[in-house]
Structure 1
Amino acid sequence: MKPELALSAPSAWLDPAAAPATPGRSFWAAFAAVVTVASLVLVLSTGQFRPRGLGPYSVSVPVDFAPYDPARWAIMNAGDYEAALKIDPTLPDPRSIDWSDAAPEPPADPLLLRDEALAGPPAKSYAFQGVTALDRERAHYCLTAAIYYEAASESDDGMRGVAQTVLNRVRHPSFPSTVCGVVFQGSQRAGVCQFTFSCDGAMARTPERRNWLRASRVASAALGGTVFPKVGLATHYHTTAIWPRWGKSLVMTNIVGAHIFHRWRGRWGMPDAFRVPYSGREPVPGPYLPVAQQVAILKGQGLAPGAGPVAAATAAPLPDTAAAPLPGAMSPPASVASPQPAVAPPPTYTDARLNQSGDVREEYRKSGEWIR
């Protein structure tokens, strides 16, 4: 007899579809769906991912703001600090930063604003104090001479423009760092000096007392730190009757009297470039080419330094004798020893201290040459 199968035994396998629903599983499925939807809404609202066609969106952020705070209004409407301190003892003392002692700034002068817009930024005030009394006397004499011989017939503003240009050069790295070095730069060679009066024989004219004293007063004020803002940071100028070849390479700042003033382009003409400290050691005032020799060269009766074989022997010792002869100056043949015109001694100054002998310092020996 065959054994019978026990069909009544329970099966360990159950159909998933027939399995009863579990409360925990349905909860986590719903929670995952909510988190997914919330994440999608958050991404879309932050703008990190926004497909085309969804259009603009807006975000509302709740703000806890009280439109009316009686305590704050009471403090602001208090009559003085003591009354406000009674309401809120933690208020800081306004006198701790001295704001109440600050003086209000004066109203801006429209004329000064207009001048600055035209001329550019003004120079910074700087007092040119020489190391010794002799240095101060030399600086004052050199600046006075530049003002007088360049602008004796000008107004006071015309003189101030020349003085400011000279002192701007003293503070700029392109020029000597002394007043006399700037004024007489290149005067050892006729025709290449930076200021024409120092090598064209103009200093043979005796100064007129009234205008010399006027130039002296302008020089004293400028050396003491007075700034003339109408020419800005000008380092060059020329008369209105001419327009030199270098005019287009610079920026015109202003026209004062009979002179047109210019400054460097770019950063070379901005205030940060004028940072060279004044050395305070003034060289011997020029001109470094004797005035008598300058006049002789202009009249065609003399030779420029270095033009002839015996020029160095007949002329006074000069810092640089390598200059080429001026146009029209004839050089004698080397085999003919032609007599040279007598050279007068250098001019003397009223102040004996200015007559001390000396040579141009080494760093100024090539002054006046074209800057490469």
Structure 2
Amino acid sequence: MKPELNLTARATWRDPVPEKPAGPGRNFWAALAAAVAVACLAFLLSSGQLRGPAGFGPYQVTVPVAFKPHDPARWAIMTAEDYAAALKIDPTLPDPNSVDYGDAAATPPAEPALLRDEAFVGPPAKSYAFRGVTALDRERAHYCLTAAIYYEAASESDDGMRGVAQTIINRVRHPSFPNTVCGVVFQGSQRAGVCQFTFSCDGAMARAPSKPNWLRASRIASAALGGYVFPKVGLTTHYHTQAIWPRWGKSLVMTNIVGAHIFHRWRGRWGMPDAFRAPYLGREPVPGPYLPIAQQVAILRGGAVAPSGLVPDISGALAAPLPNVAAAPTPGAMAQQNATPVASAPTPPPTAYSDPRLGQSGQVREEFRKSGEWIQ
């Protein structure tokens, strides 16, 4: 009997054991498939696509809600097709054309440049016409404003002059300052060194004004008193030249730089339009300067002359204001009203005045040639 052959047996000498292929094994691919399945499930849960009572994502149900307005009648009026349909519901409705807002095209659009200026500068001042009680009051207001514009900005452009004029007009309308034009311009000019506008107490008005610039300042003053508003400086109440920065500069809000001056306004409500509500008195005081020019020049030279026969204090400021000043005297001034009178120094001759601070370049235009000489 022949032995049977085992055909399925592997001959070790003829069929060697095959080597395992290089690379990831079966376990790796199983782990990768599980990770992909978990990631897909997490994505579906985060996107909210698996929802339902089984716990996969938040359960959501839609319930119809009937909208019920608080006032059905007013809601019907607001949702009407036009004014005629709304008028049938409520016959007492006012006509929108009666208040000029029915037609939006009737109002001209605001200029972009003006909107940019207001965003930077702030709100402009309200137009106000200064009408004096008498013709003399109107002449005084015009002269005081013209003098301030000239001596503060004679070398400026028209806009530079308008900025000075608008500052003075704003002060007249503000309760912090006198409510007359001359009172604002010559405020504090009875005391050297404390005047609000330096030209009124530093001898500057001894210079004879040039006719062209004086006429230009007069024209700008007339427009400002008539109600013209210069919006580029807004509600400014203070200004100074670009050559200096006063200690009060940080306490105010800068509005703009026009020409050689930097303009400021009050902070908070004191610098908003509602604050400029002081009524114009209409009675203008006597124009200044309230400290005579001869005494201003003497103080500049170092030899102060006492006004009204009173002895000046050690700081060079006057002991008491002159009688024609509307401002109330300070307690210190009232305490010195009984000072010993002294003889006033004689007025210097007309040819004796020569301010060394004036330009001596020799290149003086004809209209400025007599600047610095005494006014005859």
Q: Is TM (by shorter chain) over 0.5?
A: yes
Tell me which residue corresponds to 1:134: 136
Matched-pair contact (CA < 8 Å) for 1:147–1:159? yes
Give the Cα–Cα distance (whole angstroms) in 2 for the partners of residues 102 and 344 of structure 1: 69
Tell me which residue corresponds to 1:262: 264
1:7-30 CA deviation, whole Å, 9 max, x = no partner? xxxxxxxxxxxxxxxxxxxxxxxx
Tell me the SS of whatever aligns to 1:210. helix
Q: Kindly provide the amino acid, as one letter, of the partner of residue 305 in structure 2.
A: L
Tell me which residue corresponds to 1:61: 65
Structure 1's 302 and 113: CA in aligned 2 closer, same or farther, altered over 3 A? same
Give the Cα–Cα distance (whole angstroms) in 2 for the partners of residues 262 and 88 of structure 1: 51
* Count of paired positions: 265
Tell me which residue corresponds to 1:341: 345
Shift of residue 303, structure 1, vs aligned partner: 3.2
Tell me which of 297, 300, 305 is aligned to 1:298: 300
1:123-181 CA deviation, whole Å, 9 max, x = no partner? 01111111111111111111011000000110000000000000100011110000000
Shift of residue 110, structure 1, vs aligned partner: 1.8
Tell me which residue corresponds to 1:11: none
Shift of residue 268, structure 1, vs aligned partner: 0.7
Structure 1 unaligned runs (5+)? 1-53, 65-74, 326-333, 346-372
Give the Cα–Cα distance (whole angstroms) in 2 for the partners of residues 344 and 286 of structure 1: 20
Give the Cα–Cα distance (whole angstroms) in 2 for the partners of residues 125 and 117 of structure 1: 19
Structure 1's 182 and 60: CA in aligned 2 closer, same or farther, altered over 3 A? same
Tell me the SS of whatever aligns to 1:245. coil
Q: Kindly provide the amino acid, as one letter, of the partner of residue 60 in structure 1.
A: P
1:41-92 CA deviation, whole Å, 9 max, x = no partner? xxxxxxxxxxxxx97776422469xxxxxxxxxx97xxxx9xx98x999487
Structure 1's 259 and 56: CA in aligned 2 closer, same or farther, altered over 3 A? farther
Tell me which residue corresponds to 1:232: 234
Tell me which of 195, 202, 205 is aligned to 1:203: 205
* 1:209-288 matches, cutoff 5 A: 209-288=211-290
Q: Kindly provide the amino acid, as one letter, of the partner of residue 167 in structure 1.
A: I
Q: Kindly provide the amino acid, as one letter, of the partner of residue 112 in structure 1.
A: L
Tell me the SS of whatever aligns to 2:150. helix
Give the Cα–Cα distance (whole angstroms) in 2 for the partners of residues 290 and 102 of structure 1: 59
Shift of residue 343, structure 1, vs aligned partner: 4.0
* 1:30-41 matches, cutoff 5 A: none
State the superposition RMSD in angstroms: 4.0
Tell me which residue corresponds to 1:187: 189
Tell me which residue corresponds to 1:159: 161
Shift of residue 342, structure 1, vs aligned partner: 1.2
Tell me which of 142, 145, 169 is aligned to 1:143: 145
Q: Kindly provide the amino acid, as one letter, of the partner of residue 274 in structure 1.
A: F
Give the Cα–Cα distance (whole angstroms) in 1 for the partners of residues 87 and 266 of structure 2: 59
Give the Cα–Cα distance (whole angstroms) in 2 for the partners of residues 344 and 318 of structure 1: 24
Structure 2 unaligned runs (5+)? 1-57, 69-79, 334-338, 350-376
Matched-pair contact (CA < 8 Å) for 1:304–1:323? no
Query: Which is further off, 237-246 or 89-98?
Result: 89-98
